[in-house]
Structure 1
Amino acid sequence: MLATLQDLAAKVEVEMKAYRLYNVVPAVIAAVDDLTNWYVRRSRRRFWKSENDGDKNAAYATMYKVLVDFSKILAPFLPLLAEEIYQILVREVDANAPVSVHLCEFPSADKSLMDEKLVERIAMVRGMVEMGRVIRATNNVKNRMPIACMTVVAHGTEEKNVAETMKDLILEELNVREMKFLEDETKLVKLSAKPNFLAIKAKGPDYAKNMKVISAKLNSLSVDEIKALQNGETIKFDFGEVGADCLMLNRIVADGMAVEADQHFTVALDLKITDELRRACVARELVNRIQNRRKDQNYAITDKIEVTLFSASDVFKQAVAENEAYIAGETQAVAIKWAAAADGLEANDADGEAFAFTTVKA
């Protein structure tokens, strides 16, 4: 997150000096997404764990620095919001700080915190996660439904290293149990290609004039030739060369599988749902209901609770029994008890399984 912040500061400084405001706003929005939908969400357990160790302190210190510096970057674009953040985080704890965010030096990138390779690697991971979510959405498989296996084809050595190194994180993000690797995409899908006319035309007038020649060549590519272009090779003509960016790939997959791909990875999910996977989904749905109840009751994020449940559903009971440690860990529950009747409990359901529950502070 600190590396991403430095990239943002450097980009904003360059673009504002050239008065290109239209290039700044998308970069700021992307950084907000990195902060809220990745760093904060991925760090939740670090923020609320009870032990006050170095990792927890590092998470809070990083969050503080990012918000303070981000308020200064935001100041020209969202002056009132930036001022509110600055006053709460800086002025309330440091009376000697400048009285306004608008009187602070505009932040420059700290080169010691810049890490282009790390930012690229996380972008690859997020791209893979996004493809998995697209597969779920396209096939109406909700995010809380566990999936048994995903298959990954890495389109390069660095990509393979990223997927292997970040495997546990990717599996957790996509709620998948296992990751398998394939070296050859054609063992997973039937691959074909056709010309990307817009990309070809954008390469210049010589390419536009020779569109028929280029199209004829690209339409006749074998699977091995397509794979060679994916690996960085090009097709040379008298007027220039074309590569994988001029192709539109089509992937046909086997029944029960769904595939998405980008320039770094091809990702396939096995969408067959077993009874055990469904029970795990019920447990995740229960966690969601308990977390919503915590929010409604204004519990602090560190408050421990006791949960009381009732259900006539054998599926629900088995789901809780199989996943009790996970449910307790996610909800800060020190005890999960069963009631003999639903009297006094709040009715609800988890993936269609009816139950009733209540929570109290432990």
Structure 2
Amino acid sequence: MVRTVLLPLWNSFAFFTTYAIADGVTVEDLRSAPEVADRPEMDRWIVSTLQSLVAAVNDEMEGYRLHAVVPPILGFIDDLTNWYIRRNRRRFWSQRSDSTEADKIAAFATLYEVLVTFSSVAAPVIPFVTEELYQQLVVAVDDQASDSVHLLDYPAVDHRAIDRDLERAMDGVRTVVNLGRGLRKEHQIRVRQPLRSLTIITRDAALQEAVASHRDLISDELNVKEVVVTSDEGDLLHLSVKPDYKILGPRIGGEVKDVAAALTGLSDDDIAGLLDGGVLTILGHSIGDGDVVVERTPRPGVVVASSGPVAVALDSQLDDTLLVEGVARELISRIQRIRRDEALDVSDRIDLTWDSDDERVEAAFELHARLIADEVLAVSITRSSGEHEIEVNDAGVTLGVQRAAQSS
């Protein structure tokens, strides 16, 4: 409970306060944010998801199904921390300027409003943490606020903020991302190692549209260069089918073995027709997609996972260009760790030094210096020995991290 619920919720609050203080965000700034309908899609999504939660919890409570209240409340914490905040970190990290101000304030206002509303929604389930959130987020800045979150009326749903189509689309995108992450883990491909492509295979038109309109998000989340959406599995997978014995067995009895043998001879086109809703007549029996189990065997160099109407295929073959970028991203992670160990503030700029005799490390700093500098807030990158000795992909590297003069 502490690790999976309380700590992530508290970390969300700490994330908000840390960056709001660093950026000098005020209550007046939050009040100046655009209406939710005019904010970016991710803001609208988390607000819609929260209001759907409010509707569901109110419905369960009014029906005295109190046992059904807890799972969706706890599930929302995952939506907030593992999707909304993680996908929007750069909006909070960016420096305040005329070009970023509106987007940054929209992000801060959205997170603030969600945390405040959620503290009321979850108060009956998580009474002490939500009270502390309410005290620090509301009472501390509003003299007219109620003394306690537990003295407030329970939140009423704002139906205008709910966008079911957006929620369904984001559910589809997250399914694809989870499948891709699972493939990386299963095949021991590091998350920071870029891959050439991800192919999303589905015949569901709505899902095709959802993932096609979020290509950049999926590409960034799974660290792939290209995202392809198709309904044709033939180039990546070999398809085969076998009977769903639980369904066909009772229906056709002993003939199911003969049908199984006949199914092994189906072509990819025959199977594709089944998946598109077609019906085949085999030994006098009508066989549809609900009567069979489809097995997908990846072609060489491809790894595949599927869930329901969607399958994803990762091109796992690596070349030097991808390997060098993977080294650059590993370096970023290690430098960020050094920043934390040195207790640097999240907004501190640094002077970075490095040295290594490994060719890929040298290429990473040469080709991806701008990426590294942007991610670790480096104002200078110089080749020189540093005090931190590390290994990146079995290569020795020394790094030096010093607070830049302009951050003092």
Note whether the superposition's TM-score is higher than 0.5. Answer: yes
CA distance in 1, matches of 2:256, 2:108: 55
Name the Cα RMSD after superposition: 2.5
Displacement after TM superposition at 1:22 (Å): 3.6
CA contact (8 A) 2:201 2:312 kept: yes
User: What amino acid maps onto 2:202 in structure 1?
Assistant: A
- What whole-Å deviation, never above 9, does each CA across 1:219-253 have from its counterpart, x for those lacking one? 455455543453356799xxxx9965664321011
CA distance in 2, matches of 1:242, 1:67: 51
* Aligned equivalent of 1:49: 94
Aligned counterparts, 1:68-217, within 5 A: 68-196=116-244, 200=247, 209-210=250-251, 212=253
Question: Which one of the candidate residues 381, 402, 408 is aligned to 1:336?
Answer: 381
Aligned residue for 2:69, secondary structure, equals: helix
Change (3 A) 1:274 1:60: same
Change (3 A) 1:103 1:187: same
Displacement after TM superposition at 1:292 (Å): 1.1
Q: TM-score, normalised by structure 2?
A: 0.79
* Aligned equivalent of 1:203: none
CA contact (8 A) 1:218 1:247 kept: no
Aligned residue for 1:286, secondary structure, equals: helix
- Whether 1:15 and 2:77 are equivalent positions in the alignment is no
User: What amino acid maps onto 2:371 in structure 1?
Assistant: Y
CA contact (8 A) 2:352 2:380 kept: yes
* Percent sequence identity over aligned pairs: 35
CA contact (8 A) 2:131 2:149 kept: yes
CA contact (8 A) 1:259 1:266 kept: yes
- Whether 1:354 and 2:384 are equivalent positions in the alignment is no
- What whole-Å deviation, never above 9, does each CA across 1:190-241 have from its counterpart, x for those lacking one? 112334566x5xxxxxx995474896698455455543453356799xxxx9
Displacement after TM superposition at 1:137 (Å): 1.0
CA distance in 1, matches of 2:187, 2:204: 28
Displacement after TM superposition at 1:296 (Å): 1.9
Aligned residue for 2:95, secondary structure, equals: coil
- Whether 1:266 and 2:308 are equivalent positions in the alignment is no
CA distance in 1, matches of 2:288, 2:65: 31
Aligned counterparts, 1:34-45, within 5 A: 34-45=79-90
CA distance in 1, matches of 2:278, 2:84: 36
- Whether 1:305 and 2:350 are equivalent positions in the alignment is yes
* Aligned equivalent of 1:253: 298
CA distance in 1, matches of 2:254, 2:176: 35
Change (3 A) 1:196 1:21: farther
CA contact (8 A) 2:212 2:229 kept: no
CA contact (8 A) 1:282 1:353 kept: no
CA contact (8 A) 1:281 1:351 kept: no
Which consecutive residues of structure 2, in runs of 5 or more, have no partner in the other structure?
1-45
Aligned residue for 2:308, secondary structure, equals: coil
CA contact (8 A) 2:211 2:229 kept: no
Matched residue count: 348
User: What amino acid maps onto 2:105 in structure 1?
Assistant: N
CA distance in 1, matches of 2:316, 2:223: 12
CA distance in 2, matches of 1:317, 1:213: 67
User: What amino acid maps onto 1:34 in structure 2?
Assistant: D
Change (3 A) 1:89 1:256: same
Q: TM-score, normalised by structure 1?
A: 0.88
Aligned residue for 2:231, secondary structure, equals: coil
CA distance in 2, matches of 1:233, 1:18: 43
User: What amino acid maps onto 1:115 in structure 2?
Assistant: D
Aligned residue for 2:391, secondary structure, equals: strand
CA contact (8 A) 2:236 2:302 kept: no
Change (3 A) 1:70 1:246: farther
CA distance in 1, matches of 2:64, 2:245: 33
Question: Which one of the candidate residues 87, 110, 133 is aligned to 1:62?
Answer: 110
